A = this chain, B = another copy of it.
Amino acid sequence: MTRTDKAPRFQFPAGSRVGIVAGGGALPVEVANCLSEQGLNPFVLIVAGESSPDSGLDRFDHDVLTLEELGSLVATLKRHRVTHVVLAGEIRRRPRLAAMRISLGLLAIVPTVVAALAKGDDGLLRVVIRGLETRGFTVVGAHQLVPDLVAGEGPLTRKAPAASDKANLDAAYAAAKAIGGLDIGQGAVAIGGRVIALEGIEGTNGMLERVKDLRQHGRLAGKAGGVLVKCAKPRQEMRADMPTIGPQTVELAHAAGLSGVGIEAGRSLVMDGPDMVSLADRLGLFVVGLEARDDHG
């Protein structure tokens, strides 16, 4: 959160109303707080079943939408006079098509959404963003609203990677980029210079739990250490689904016996930064921003 140039904070024109489509995790809360502190009064559209009930998002002007009610997204945003939309937080579930409420708005977008679902996450997010823009909304990235959350280059923690961590960081970074190129996941774990786990739909936390189990079952040959690397996909849509870490990532990395975490600088978000750093310092882990790789559009 230091050395890399941050994008300047997005400036909203007078009369703007920001709508936050809020998935799980801390990001929507950080975005809402930040907008509120700027005197903007955000409208939060909570995606049912993703956000935790104690997220505090209900302090803001809000509404709740199930994934299956996706068809009324535009109408709901318009009703609240939203001009700018932020997609923030994880959406882990996929809509059950059978349970979707049929509406004209939905029928219009079904073919593109189905095509997008077939292309994976990124494809879907691109279609949603394009759809919102076609309907007159400006879609803004969370990183443009709270640029302080964007990871900078270099260690965030007291501890920096040791020389022995370098091979792990390199191997995991290369693997995470490769599976990102296939639009599968954003993370990989390397131990002993070798990638041993790749993130699929189970997510980063699920992958770390797996590494913990593998270690407990003696499947890692008693090898100490290892790293998690998370990075943006080569064609990452930066206005949605940026790679994110937080205190829980550090906690699970520690439980999995890893020595640290690497994230791609400028293209990853750090949630609850101070808490995460003090936890990592206490547990003796490093968290490091790695130089960004590959061209991004």
Contact = CB atoms under 8 A, between A and B. Distances in A.
Interface in A200-222: 200-202, 206, 210, 214, 218-222
B92 A219 contact: yes
Interface string A58-96: 000000000000000000000000000000000011111
A118 B192 CA distance: 7
| Chain copies in the assembled complex | 2
A183 B200 CA distance: 17
B184 A198 contact: yes
A223 interface: yes
A219 B201 contact: yes
A292 interface: no
Given A118-B167, A202-B214, A195 B182 contact: yes
Contacts of A202: 197, 210, 214, 219
Given A198-B198, A221-B95, A223-B94, A182 B174 contact: yes
Contacts of A95: 221
Closest 8 CB pairs of A and B: A94-B221, A196-B201, A198-B198, A197-B200, A118-B193, A184-B195, A120-B194, A196-B200
Interface of A: 92-96, 98, 117-121, 167, 174-175, 178-179, 181-185, 189, 192-202, 206, 210, 214, 218-223
